[in-house]
Amino acid sequence: MTGSRSALPGTHVTGHAPCWGDPDFAVADSRWKTGKDLVAICEPVLYVCGGCPFRAACIKQVVPAKNEFDGVCGGRIWLNGVIVHALPDADPSELPPPVIRKSCGTAAGSRAHRRAVEQQCPRCEPFYQPGPNPLDAEDDAQQLELPNVA
């Protein structure tokens, strides 16, 4: 069964990708509640992105960070436009090129690149630190609900 992915405009390049039309890649909101649900749907199909020559083109077309995309795009699983899981060979060079900002060359500049899910510019590279994974935040929330065993 193949579904149509009509929600994404201008996807002619990735129309040739092996994932094209698979509803497990652009996942309908009705199919999941938490990020873990989403990963459970997407993780089994993420391997399809392995070695896919369209990964950079896919990210360029879907613009997942800006569109708060949920699903698989370019070898990564996105939750509200944030990468929560990636193939081991997912390479930063597949992300959009960095926008140069006044804050470049500082930790804030590096964070700005990270928030935009773009490459780090050379001046920000030394300041790069991975951001928090929203899935970890879900874990923390669940832990807070556990009874306090003193």
Q: Which residues bind Zn ion (CB under 5 A)?
A: 104, 109, 121, 124
Q: Do the Cβ atoms of 4 and 21 come closer than 8 Å?
A: yes
Q: How far is the CB of 118 from Zn ion (least distance, A)?
A: 9
Q: Using CA atoms, how far apart are residues 105 and 54, in angstroms rounded to an integer?
A: 31
Token duo for residue 139: 């874990």
The residue assigned the tokens 């149509």 is: 4
Choose between 36 and 123: whose C-beta lies nearer to Zn ion.
123
Q: Which is nearer to Zn ion, 20 or 128 (CB)?
A: 128
Q: How far is the CB of 109 from Zn ion (least distance, A)?
A: 4
Pair 56, 76: CB distance under 8 Å: no
Question: Please, what is the minimum distance in Å from the beta carbon of residue 80 to Zn ion?
Answer: 23
* Residues in Cβ contact with 117 at an 8 Å cutoff, skipping those fewer than 6 apart: 64, 65, 81, 82, 83, 95, 96
- Find the shortest distance in angstroms from Cβ 129 to Zn ion: 14
Nearer to Zn ion, 69 or 127 (CB): 127
Handedness of CA 113, 117, 121, 122 (dihedral sign): positive
Query: Of 49 and 124, which has the nearer Cβ to Zn ion?
Result: 124
